[in-house]
Amino acid sequence: MDTDLKREIIMDNYQDPMNKGLVEDDSYIMTNTNSESCIDNLDFMMKVENNIIKDIRFDGEACAISTSASSIMIRSLIGKTIDEAKKILLNYTNMIQEKDFDMDIVGELGVYDDIAKQPSRKNCALMPSTAIYKLLAILEEKSK
């Protein structure tokens, strides 16, 4: 993907992120993720019904990478089954960590495929996946 197009997608999702803002609804599970190295501090909430991710929301203070990655990830995961979401998360995390991944599975999140050129930004790009993994673990614990 062209570098200018990647930048445009990232900036669009930073300036007008999808599903930013939390809701008061007990059917959601919630978690927080933050960075030890910068100001990024985000709350995430997710609603799952019949093994399908119905909604994900986030809010907080974060840089352009964390905010845009959260927006794009939310768009990528809503409507997916838990197993489909785990596959996307695994491939995305592998991409950020410079391991083998499938670009077809990563989809639009592929705009971060060269984030490794800025190692200090990896944590920013991983914030939403870290939060979603936490939410999935909470969901799994609740279902026991």
- What is the spatial distance between Cα 59 and Cα 41, in angstroms, rounded to a whole number? 9
- What is the spatial distance between Cα 93 and Cα 45, in angstroms, rounded to a whole number? 20
Residues forming a β-bridge with 47 = 55
Q: What is the pLDDT along the chain (144 residues), one digit of tens a residue?
A: 788 999 999 999 999 999 999 999 999 999 999 987 788 999 999 999 999 999 999 999 999 999 999 999 999 999 999 999 999 999 999 999 999 999 999 999 999 999 988 888 999 999 999 999 999 999 999 888
CA 129 to chain centre: 4
- The answer to whether the beta carbons of residues 141 and 57 sit under 8 Å apart is no
Q: What angle do CA 49, 56, 28 make, to 5 degrees?
A: 55
